[in-house]
Structure 1
Amino acid sequence: MAFTFAAFCYMLTLVLCASLIFFVIWHIIAFDELRTDFKNPIDQGNPARARERLKNIERICCLLRKLVVPEYSIHGLFCLMFLCAAEWVTLGLNIPLLFYHLWRYFHRPADGSEVMYDAVSIMNADILNYCQKESWCKLAFYLLSFFYYLYRLFLQPCLHLPQPQPTLSLGPIFYVAWRSPAPPPRPFVTKYE
């Protein structure tokens, strides 16, 4: 069994992809919490809870912001590793999400103080729906990627097995037969030795 740099990349990617799945699940739970808090009719008319709700929203947005750069960095590391390992198909599958992450990072709010998930703008129903759909799509992508990386990890040693050499067989029909080399001859041993 050969241990190559590509196999190492797939092993590291499996572990990091599991962490990305947990990041995205946390995003989905946080957005669902914001949505249910936004739609709660009991607290809408209670001014005493308004300050507490605002602090809760700011806390959730602060935690969401802390996960953005690690998620983008880990995914960028995936692409860099697969580029160095010359895993072109895997790199091609990851490039669209990398471009989306770059676009999303460089098109953050104009003031530049926040990466994204501002406490005021996140409560807009359209933005909240967009963020939740984005998280569900990322979860699907990371889950499919996880199983693809697992498949490629187990397939990787099989790709580097020594291949049998072709031998030319001249029979009634000329063809090239693929067969393994013959075993070495056994030494002649008599019964009485």
Structure 2
Amino acid sequence: MGLIAEVLFWSSVFLGTAGLLFCAVYALILFSDLTADHINPVELCELINRLVLPEYLGHVALTAVLLLKGLLIPAVLNLPLILFHTWRYRERKHLLDNTSIFNDVEKERPICVAKLAHHLLMFFIYLYFFIIALAAA
């Protein structure tokens, strides 16, 4: 029963991380579409702003699950991005404004790339822990 519980745990972690990866890639694609003039600023801001809170809450929930499981290393590795999200939310910088998006796109794109890199790195760390759990069983 322990092995099945571990597989289900890591499967849920992988799915959560895949959702976070999707959010980062989707935002990058939307920023590229904006610079190529395939999408208007109002539509871009609506689409990205709709994803902000679910992304933040999903990341916090994933980290909380890791903490509850007792996996301190992955939880601590998630902490800087959670602190960054908290700072953006408290400073009211988490939502994009369609009137200034062309000025902000060069600041927001590197943030999306950094989030993508972080979530990809965490995905491979979770994969490592998953393989270790399978080998121990």
Give the TM-score of the pair, scaled to structure 2. Answer: 0.89
RMSD: 2.2
How far 1:120 moved relative to its partner? Answer: 0.8
The match for 1:99 among 76, 83, 105 is 83
1:151 aligns with 2:111: no
Q: 1:19 — aligned with what? A: 19
Partner of 1:138: 115
Contact kept in structure 1, 2:74 and 2:122, CA below 8 Å: no
Give the CA deviation at 1:157: 3.5
- CA drift of 1:37 comes to 2.6
CA contact (8 A) 1:9 1:85 kept: no
Greater share of helix residues, 1 or 2? 2
Where 2:115 maps in the other structure, the secondary structure is helix
Unaligned runs of 5+ in 2: none
Question: 1:153, CA displacement in angstroms?
Answer: 1.1
Mapped to 2, the partners of 1:119 and 1:131 lie a distance apart of 13
Q: Percent identity?
A: 30
Paired residues in the alignment total 137
SS of the equivalent of 2:2 reads: coil
Cα offset, 1:158, TM superposition: 3.3
Structure 1: segments with no counterpart, 5+ residues = 39-52, 110-114, 162-193
Structure 2 CA distance for partners of 1:66 and 1:132, relative to 1, 3 Å: same
**CA positional deviation for 1:5:** 5.8
Tell me how far apart the structure 1 counterparts of residues 107 and 5 of structure 2 sit (CA, whole Å): 38
**In structure 1, distance between residues paired with 2:78 and 2:7:** 17
Q: Which has the higher strand share?
A: 1
Q: How far apart are residue 93 of structure 1 and its match?
A: 0.8
Task: Name the larger-Rg structure.
Answer: 1
TM-score, scaled to structure 1: 0.64
Pick aligned residue for 1:71 from 48, 55, 74: 55
Spell out structure 1 runs of 4+ moving beyond 3 A. Answer: 4-9
